[in-house]
Amino acid sequence: MTKSSTAMTRRSMLKTGAALAATSAVPTGWAIAQAKPLKVGLMLPYSGTFAKLGENITFAIEQLIAEKGGKLGGREIQIVKLDDESKPENAPQNADRLVKRDAVDVLIGTVHSGVQMGIHKVVSESGTLTIVPNAGNVAVTRNLCVKNVFRTSFTNWQPAYGMGLAAAKKGLKKGVWVTWDYAAGAESGAGFKEGFEKGGGEVLPNLVLPFPQTNFQPLLAQIPGLGVDVVGSFFAGGGAVQFVKEYAAAGLKTPLCGSGFLTEGTLEAQGAAAEGIETALHYGDGLDNAKNTAFRKAFKDKAGREADVYAVQGYDAAQLLAIGLEAVQGKIEDEANLYKAMRAAKIDSPRGSISISPSQEVTQNIYLRKAEGGLNKVIGIAAENLADPGTGCKLT
Amino acid sequence: MDFPGLLAQLLNGVQYGLLLFLISSGLTLIFGVMGIINLAHGSLFMIGAYLAFLVARQWGTVWLALPAAVVGGILLGLLLERGLFRHFYARDHLDQVLLTFALILLFEEGRSLMVGNDFYSVPVPALFDFSVPITSGFSYSAYRFTVIGICLALAVLLFVWIERTKMGAIIRAAAEKPEMVDVLGIDARGVYMAVFALGTTLALVAGVLAAPLYSVYPNMGDGFLIISFVVVVIGGLGSVSGAFWSALVIGLVDTLGKAYVPKVAGLAVYVLMAAVLLWRPSGLFGQQRT
């Protein structure tokens, strides 16, 4: 009894002391903002298939913060990392943990589209400022758009639309899109169709197979009979490697093109089969601008490997956050001015200058690239300053 | 419908069907002789495919995986039969199904711990990494022709073994009338072990051959298991020749369906199965039981 009452006293003593200390440290609101570091939650994959993507995004974010002297808008940045494992089933719970338990001021995430939907549900309710550094599912900045969610990567529609435009520009008249039967496949297919038809071409219904199957033969064998001038496609990772190799092995004469992910990070495995394939993406090898050169060098010094499109997207997520925080001097609770500044942001990105579209998506150049000697060399611009249509999004 | 395209699709169908035969022949024998419905048979196929992936990653070519699959398949089959299945022959089907379902979970979890949950493509062996032009606009991969060849050779070996050897005669007898084996005073345990080892080996070999064609990914055995059950049911439970013809039919129906009527392709083989069951309830080659 005696012991516990002593403890009680000691605890209340401490409380009083803490309260006093707190009171004395609170002269003005401005000083609070200065004193407390801003918590940035990184919800990204640090294990599994997409681990390298998550790491590159993280390196690039840390790189930008370091370039700014460790502070954004005058505030210290405290980073909280959470491995989302690319598991959609755990996504709402994980996002909730960052938002509620860790009480992050900003959430940056993620790579996997399914996980993104989980994050989106949580932050749509909590109102936490969120920046998407990769996942390209259109819904996030279309019918489900909210004022606190921005994206610095792409929509699945964008690169495919650019590819469609570029293919039509070459005078190709009839095309078909080959992909997996899932959201990203359908969204990219719609982009290709829109771009190709805008340029006067005609697109047949998509050839699809269930995700993530790779029994491409029944689809490939149909291609000679379709009488198309061009085959476009969206596959990624191991599926892209297999598809490009089987396409080459089938000896098809129709040129193959696609969303940039068809040859992104896979060229080594695809070898000669990928040589000459044209793809469209918002980044590529050999982009000649000072920002890109400096960024790639700094990234390599820090990460010990070459930067890629994911690193660029992460870097720009941090750049966008910096622009917003600088406009409100670190006062993140000044939402109106924060969002206003972010919406008006003009970002000097390694991919070229980009801006934020009305649906809070990136307006950017989609580059036409050609696979040559293990690089996706930029050979032109497929679509200049392309914004996602943001259909169904009403943000003002 | 263009003719060269049809030719390519027919080849695809035959190749897919022959691969299904390798999987379903083991499934049908194990059911016919021991009466066990081995749900874990798809996992054995998966193990073969990941074996090919690991061997290719380590040594750069999948060929070494073939002898490894044969030796490993025999050992794994013997181990499973002696350690587990032998104790379940007398139990009812529910216990057996639970056992084999538990094996699926164990194998998949083991795969997840050892290799992770990633999707990997497996390189085609360099020797067959070229294409044979079959029409002016379409070439067919030499490796696929090789797979067709290997599957046909294995099918012939299997027929000779079942139809021309004493062991084969005992297996046929055991599959048709299990009590006959006991009556004749033959030690059924040896037969069971041989059948189990054979079935396991065929599934692993099928996995190795399939890996460069279909890549490897978690739960890849499930789809193949379900379609193999369809093959076994259509062919007639316990009948190897039934499994052969029905695998070819399923391979062709599925492939041509995917190519020419993709909207209903997923259903086609099941409609076919229902039709066959209505017409011949014991399958095409099954013993008509009354």
Write the residue in A208, A221, A238 that is nearest to B121 by C-beta: A238
CB contact under 8 A, B139 and A242: no
Percentage, residues of chain B above pLDDT 70: 98
CB-CB contact of A375 with A263 (8 Å) = no
Interface test with A, best of B12, B15, B128, B138 (most A CBs within 10 A): B138
- Write down the pLDDT at residue A239: 85
Q: Average pLDDT for residues A289-314, to the nearest whole number? A: 95
- Side-chain-side CA neighbours of A104 within 13 Å: the count stands at 26
Q: Average pLDDT for residues B150-175, to the nearest whole number? A: 90
- Write down the pLDDT at residue B1: 52
Give the ipTM of the model, two decimals please. 0.74
- Write down the pLDDT at residue A132: 98
Nearest CA distance, B41 vs chain A (angstrom): 20
Give the tens place of pLDDT for each residue, B199-231.
999 999 999 999 998 888 888 898 899 999 999
Q: Is the pLDDT of residue A236 over 60?
A: yes
Helical spans, DSSP H, in A214-364: 217-220, 223-226, 237-249, 267-270, 290-303, 309-327, 335-343
Q: Average pLDDT for residues B24-43, to the nearest whole number? A: 92
Q: Residue B129: pLDDT band by 50, 70, 90 thresholds?
A: confident
Interface test with B, best of A46, A204, A217, A231 (most B CBs within 10 A): A217
Write the residue in B138, B217, B223 that is nearest to A251 by C-beta: B138
Q: For chain B, what's the residue count? A: 290
Q: Average pLDDT for residues B123-134, to the nearest whole number? A: 87
Residues of A numbered 123-152 whose beta carbons fall under 8 angstroms of chain B's beta carbons: which are they? none
Neighboring chain B residues of A250 at a CB cutoff of 8 Å = 131, 138-141
CB contact under 8 A, B5 and A48: no
Q: Is the pLDDT of residue A27 over 50?
A: no
CB contact under 8 A, B8 and A217: yes
Neighboring chain A residues of B120 at a CB cutoff of 8 Å = 238
Neighboring chain A residues of B224 at a CB cutoff of 8 Å = none
Q: Is A78 on the interface with B (CB under 8 A)?
A: no
Q: Is the pLDDT of residue A217 over 50?
A: yes
- Write down the pLDDT at residue A146: 96
CB contact under 8 A, A213 and B9: no
Write the residue in A222, A237, A246 that is nearest to B5 by C-beta: A222
Give the tens place of pLDDT for each residue, A82-140.
999 888 999 999 999 999 999 999 999 999 999 999 999 999 999 999 999 999 999 99
Neighboring chain B residues of A217 at a CB cutoff of 8 Å = 8, 12, 144, 255
Q: Which of A211, A250, A212, A213 is nearest to A231 (CA)?
A: A250
Q: Is the pLDDT of residue A17 over 70?
A: no
Q: Residue A345: pLDDT band by 50, 70, 90 thresholds?
A: very high
Q: Residue A1: pLDDT band by 50, 70, 90 thresholds?
A: very low
CB contact under 8 A, B141 and A246: yes
- Average pLDDT of every residue of chain B: 89
Q: Residue B119: pLDDT band by 50, 70, 90 thresholds?
A: confident
CB-CB contact of A171 with A147 (8 Å) = no
- Write down the pLDDT at residue A386: 97
Neighboring chain B residues of A220 at a CB cutoff of 8 Å = 138
Q: Residue A40: pLDDT band by 50, 70, 90 thresholds?
A: very high
CB-CB contact of B56 with B108 (8 Å) = no
CB-CB contact of A392 with A143 (8 Å) = yes
Neighboring chain B residues of A242 at a CB cutoff of 8 Å = 121, 215
- Write down the pLDDT at residue B214: 85
Q: Residue A24: pLDDT band by 50, 70, 90 thresholds?
A: very low
Q: Is the pLDDT of residue A2 over 70?
A: no
CB contact under 8 A, B137 and A253: yes
Q: Residue B287: pLDDT band by 50, 70, 90 thresholds?
A: low
Q: Average pLDDT for residues A346-372, to the nearest whole number? A: 97
Residue in chain A nearest B3 by alpha carbon: A225
Q: Which of A153, A111, A103 is nearest to A128 (CA)?
A: A103
* More confident call, B91 vs A2: B91
Nearest CA distance, B3 vs chain A (angstrom): 9
**Global pTM value:** 0.81
Q: Is the pLDDT of residue A33 over 50?
A: no
Residue in chain B nearest A246 by alpha carbon: B141
Q: Residue A7: pLDDT band by 50, 70, 90 thresholds?
A: very low
Neighboring chain B residues of A237 at a CB cutoff of 8 Å = 119
Q: Is A51 on the interface with B (CB under 8 A)?
A: no
Helix (H, G, I), strand (E, B) or coil at A362: strand
Q: Residue A4: pLDDT band by 50, 70, 90 thresholds?
A: very low
Q: Average pLDDT for residues B171-175, to the nearest whole number? A: 82
Query: Quick one: A377 exposed, middle or buried, by C-beta within 10 A (0-12, 13-18, 19+)?
Result: middle
Number of CB pairs < 8 Å for A and B?
87
Contacting residues for A179 by C-beta, under 8 A, at least 6 apart: A185, A186, A188, A189, A206, A207, A208, A233, A234, A235
Give the tens place of pLDDT for each residue, B45-92.
999 999 999 999 998 888 899 999 999 999 999 999 999 999 998 888
Write the residue in B4, B139, B258 that is nearest to A249 by C-beta: B139
Residues of A numbered 233-272 whose beta carbons fall under 8 angstroms of chain B's beta carbons: which are they? 237-239, 241-242, 245-246, 249-253, 269
C-alpha–C-alpha distance, residues B56 and B51, integer Å: 8
Q: Residue A14: pLDDT band by 50, 70, 90 thresholds?
A: low
Q: Which of A85-89, A156-160, A213-217, A341-345 has the lowest mean pLDDT?
A: A213-217
- Write down the pLDDT at residue A23: 47
In 10 A of CB A53, how many CB atoms?
25
Write the residue in A214, A218, A269 that is nearest to B9 by C-beta: A218
Q: Is B141 on the interface with A (CB under 8 A)?
A: yes
Residues of B numbered 78-137 whose beta carbons fall under 8 angstroms of chain A's beta carbons: which are they? 116-121, 124, 129-131, 133, 135, 137
Q: Average pLDDT for residues A193-206, to the nearest whole number? A: 96
Q: Is A221 on the interface with B (CB under 8 A)?
A: yes
Q: Residue A12: pLDDT band by 50, 70, 90 thresholds?
A: low
- Which of A219-223, A347-351, B232-236 reaches the highest mean pLDDT? A347-351
CB contact under 8 A, B138 and A221: yes
Q: Could you give the maximum distance between any two Cα atoms of chain B, in Å? A: 62
Bridge partners, A378 (sequence order): A369
Nearest CA distance, A215 vs chain B (angstrom): 6
Give the tens place of pLDDT for each residue, A364-386.
999 999 999 999 999 999 999 99
Q: Is A204 on the interface with B (CB under 8 A)?
A: no
